[in-house]
Amino acid sequence: MGDSSIADGVNCPVPFSRYDRVQLGHGSGGKMSAALLKERFLPHFSNPALAKLTDAAIVEVAAGRLAVSTDTFVVRPLEFPGGNIGSLAVHGTLNDIAMMGARPRYLSAGFVLEEGLEFEVLDRIIAAMARAAEEAGVPIVAGDTKVVERGKADGVFINTTGIGELDRGFAPAPDLARAGDAVIVSGPIGRHGIAVMAVREGLEFEVEIESDAATLSPLVELLREQVGDAVHVLRDPTRGGVASALNEIAESAGVGVELVEDALPIPGPVRAVCEILGFDPLYVANEGILIAMVEGGSEQNAVAALRAHPLGEEATVVGRVVEAHPGLVAMRTGIGGTRVVDMLPGEQLPRIC
């Protein structure tokens, strides 16, 4: 504790800014809470709605139909190559909104801080969060901060809830997959999970694998413009990976999915780490790619649309929706066989997002 020379919250009136770690008093709703907010959060998260600091933010929406998504992030460690829990919390929720075909408009952020968390770490998390939100053009309009005793959380947990606007006419949904649809992935598989896992386990490799965490809205906009209604399903394969996402879609739409193993864009380093650790990259979390199921015949346009953006440069067709084996995902393997790609019962990688 670098702050041992500073009296505890109740007796020390000022300056709060001299603390270098989160104290229980920062969660009190009193002066220390106000100082935490004003010194740590507001400088990064400034926008008119949040700045009012009222019980609720007032925002405007044009459309009558909204997409609402919530996600709590508990990733461990808090920082990893390619991002941290703050940027991840923004990308993850914005992507859930985007996968409904909606345009993300507003975010809220709720923090649970563990007493003793270093402000230096918190500052980096908040900065990354603010940057991700700004790049996506989506303000964080409402926030909340709680503090729990040392040992009652794990540094910081962040909930983000997103609100997006839907237009009629573009509404992809998992149950709209149809036999004949092409299955497209927008980029390399497995990077987020392996990047986090490598840091957690202290693994070092010649090539550092970075998380792919990114906001997918620009890809969705391109698909919408170029192929529109031919996009039946959009899905970001996060926790549980590509395999779980495809299984959920197959079940939801009552269709089968047939993957072609050799078509899957799995980066060499991801494949290598998976082999060493005994993971299957199909179950590893991604935070910056999407799966699109697109009407047969439109796949070349869809792939071209995705490739027009840096995030989609490696977009490719990896399989097809079929009438056979409804609810099941099968894969034609490189050696000519077929195997079922089931959902895992429990976890391959806990606390990955």
DSSP state of 34: H
Question: How far apart are CB 304 and its own copies at their closest, in Å?
Answer: 25
Stretch that binds its own copies, among 110-118, 129-137, 294-302, 316-324 (CB under 8 A): 110-118
Pick 28 or 301: Cβ nearer its own copies: 28
State the Cα–Cα distance between residues 234 and 135, nearest whole angstrom: 22
55 φψ region: left (φ > 0), alpha (ψ -120 to 50), beta (else) = alpha
Which of these, 300, 133, 127, lies nearest to 227 by C-alpha position?
300
DSSP state of 202: T
DSSP state of 318: E
Pick the binder of its own copies from 42, 66, 127, 322 (CB under 8 A): 66
State the Cα–Cα distance between residues 62 and 322, nearest whole angstrom: 39
Unique residue bearing structure tokens 């670098």: 2
Question: How far apart are CB 85 and its own copies at their closest, in Å?
Answer: 12
Q: Does position 97 bind its own copies by CB under 8 A?
A: yes
Pick the binder of its own copies from 10, 51, 324, 340 (CB under 8 A): 10
Binding pattern for the stretch 131-170 against its own copies, x by CB under 8 A and - elsewhere: ----------xxxx-xxxx-xxxx--x-x-xxxx-x----
Q: Does position 58 bind its own copies by CB under 8 A?
A: yes
Stretch that binds its own copies, among 30-38, 184-192, 218-226, 272-280 (CB under 8 A): 30-38
Maximum Cα–Cα distance across the chain: 73
Q: Does position 218 bind its own copies by CB under 8 A?
A: no
State the Cα–Cα distance between residues 320 and 182, nearest whole angstrom: 5
Stretch that binds its own copies, among 78-86, 95-103, 262-270, 332-340 (CB under 8 A): 95-103
DSSP state of 209: P
Site for its own copies in 331-350 (CB under 8 A): 343-348, 350
Total chain residues near its own copies (CB under 8 A) = 92
**What are the residues whose beta carbons fall under 8 Å from the beta carbon of 155, sequence distance 6 or more?**
78, 114, 117, 121
Site for its own copies in 224-283 (CB under 8 A): 235-236, 238-240, 244, 252
